[in-house]
Amino acid sequence: MDNQELFSIGELSKRCGVPVKTIRHYADEGVVPPSATSEAGYRMYTQDDARRLGIVRNLRALGFSLDAISSMLDGSRDPQDVAALQLDLVQTQLRALERQRAILQAAATLRSRDDVVRQLDTAYAAASLGAAEREHRLEQWLARAKPTNATEAASAKIHAMVLDGLPAELSNEQLAAWVRLSTLLDDPGLLETLRLQSRPFGDVSWSEERQMAFGAGIMQILAETYPLYAAGATAGDERVQALAERFASHFARALGCEQSADFPEWFIDYARKTNDPRIERFWNDVAILRGTPPMPPFTRAQSLLIEAYQAGEKKRLE
């Protein structure tokens, strides 16, 4: 001991900030044995023991087991190997914690107690799925969401936009997106909105070319709306109103309603009911899963067009 000062377990506890009970446990396990025993049988420690206890305290804080610490300190195992094993364990724990965080974040936004309990249950189940199970779940949902009049080419395109490039392993961000997406897949309101969207076209005789042209026309109008929306244009802006007229006329031509006096009122109601932000959330979470760029703000752009069209109709009727 090189004539080092001996002090009691109580003094060691004060110096290192470790409870006496814990020090006794470490001594019993042979990790920090006392350097001496007093005549009365009390454990006595030295400054070297205090330094060893400090190392043990810090390694325990890093999650090392007492066995691993003991093997590193006595030289029976390579500390580098032990540290590598601990790193693997920590990374596994982090993945589990990230899964828990994604589940809790999704549930914390709900208001109803019953909704929260149900969300916690279903979100945990969703987060536990493997890659093949995730893809199967998406395929089942796409089959339920498919419009009755969709062409094979259109359906294949939607499938590719959702399923192509799905990862086998999820990053933390992708896991959070998948948990949110799973909630939408269980939302009957989203399916009802999608059915409402396609209902007016059920009697329309769509050729593949016509369906593609309709979709391309809508995308072009929205593409011209995005920069105006981003610049803060209002519904009264002449450029927005011109786009709103094109937007409504595109639907009217597709439905054969160009001459219908009831079309403006019907279209405003239809456009409002089907401009569901859940659709945008769905596609943005799909984009995160697939690692593709996020969707532009098409829900807000359509809201601007609807407001502009309604304002134009009100002005015409005055």
pLDDT mean values, one per 10 residues, the chain (318 residues): 81 93 93 92 93 91 89 87 84 76 70 66 72 90 84 84 89 84 89 91 74 89 96 95 95 87 93 95 95 94 96 84
Average pLDDT along the chain: 87
pLDDT attached to residue 119: 65
Q: Are 46 and 5 in contact (CB under 8 A)?
A: yes
43's enclosing H/E stretch is strand 43-45
Q: Where are the domains of the chain?
A: 7-77, 97-317
What fold characterizes domain 7-77? Multidrug-efflux Transporter Regulator; Chain: A; Domain 2 (1.10.1660)
Q: What is the pLDDT of residues 58-91, one digit of tens each?
A: 988 888 899 999 998 888 888 888 888 888 888 8
pTM of the model: 0.68
Long-range CB contacts for residues 25-34, cutoff 8 Å, separation at least 24? 26/53, 26/56, 26/66, 29/66, 29/70, 30/70, 31/56, 31/66, 31/69, 31/70, 31/73, 32/56, 34/9
pLDDT attached to residue 114: 65
